Structure 1
């Protein structure tokens, strides 16, 4: 029985492959404009719809981003290596360093879009934290000028009311150092990780290209007695992260 004859990929895929190779070879750098639909039509003798498909492949892969009325531009980004256990070690926040100092590895990062509010606890927060009201810290993180993560940390309202945890600047070591100061030192963390497509507002705030999924990490911090003192829900641009977890056999 003869093996089936392999078929060449469609022309739009071949064009996308050539553009991807050119980006990876450094012929196009971050922020450079890629050949537009008219240029691809002229070079390859293809229809506009085919040229649009070729560019859409790179947009959906996160390698390029469209700008309305301007064109399609290269969007290269060195992924953030997020080390699940090391970043939460007491040696990190207990000595006054921010958790994000480890994530960014010296790259410039910014926390913006910060809001802090006392609110009725949502269903998950009420169940995990065992309270009816919470203080919530919502913020967005950007690395190298690119939005990469949205985060919302919930704390039992009565536990943190009037403390630095509900202030914009939480001080050296961040919220975990302040929980320690309150006598509620986090000693154990659990994280649940899943992937999904972003909601429209999430895609807008993270400047995601069409088709880019997000990683949702739900972390709970526990004290020695087993009480939960924080529920943190993080929404990450999947194209911007490598999640690393180390285990002993």
Structure 2
């Protein structure tokens, strides 16, 4: 069982992207995360205060056509692709503590990735 926080983020009055985050019910059922209101201190801080520090993330990105629901939530013009970005957070022990699914319209976003390379990399 999960608890989901569903949001549509807006930029200059236009729907910019969808962000739905899923949490294991057993970890957050008695916390602020279960409350639908905005969380000033953020879910990662709340999880950490509950004893679940996010130490590792896995990012997965797919480019695809939107579902009907996504098209409606984002007011997408016909033919607009989306990027589905799934970010799963884990504790050091490997326990998944959150999964954020963001839907990014292809006509409004650039995905840029930057990595620091280890000093001994050749």
**What is the TM-score normalised by the length of structure 1?**
0.45
Matched residue SS, 2:76: coil
Contact 1:170 1:178 in 2 (8 A): no
**Whole-angstrom CA distance in 1 between matches of 2:26 and 2:93:** 18
Give, in angstroms, the shift of residue 137 of structure 1: 0.8
Give, in angstroms, the shift of residue 170 of structure 1: 2.1
Q: Give aligned pairs, total.
A: 116
Structure with the higher fraction of residues in helix conformation: 1
Bigger Rg, structure 1 or 2? 1
1:101-157 Cα offsets, whole Å, 9 max, x none, are: xxxxxxxxxxxxxxxxxxxxxxxxxxxxxxxx1111111111111101112111110
The aligned residue for residue 232 of structure 1 is 100
The aligned residue for residue 158 of structure 1 is 26
**Whole-angstrom CA distance in 2 between matches of 1:201 and 1:225:** 36
Contact 1:214 1:237 in 2 (8 A): yes
1:173-203 Cα offsets, whole Å, 9 max, x none, are: x100100111101111111001111112211
Select the residue among 48, 56, 71 that pairs with 1:180. 48
Structure with the higher fraction of residues in strand conformation: 2
**Whole-angstrom CA distance in 2 between matches of 1:169 and 1:202:** 22
Give, in angstroms, the shift of residue 171 of structure 1: 2.6
**What is the TM-score normalised by the length of structure 2?**
0.89
Matched residue SS, 1:210: coil
The aligned residue for residue 171 of structure 1 is 40
Give, in angstroms, the shift of residue 169 of structure 1: 2.4
Residue segments in structure 2 that go unaligned for 5+ positions in a row:
none
User: 2:77 matched to 1:209?
Assistant: yes
The aligned residue for residue 5 of structure 1 is none
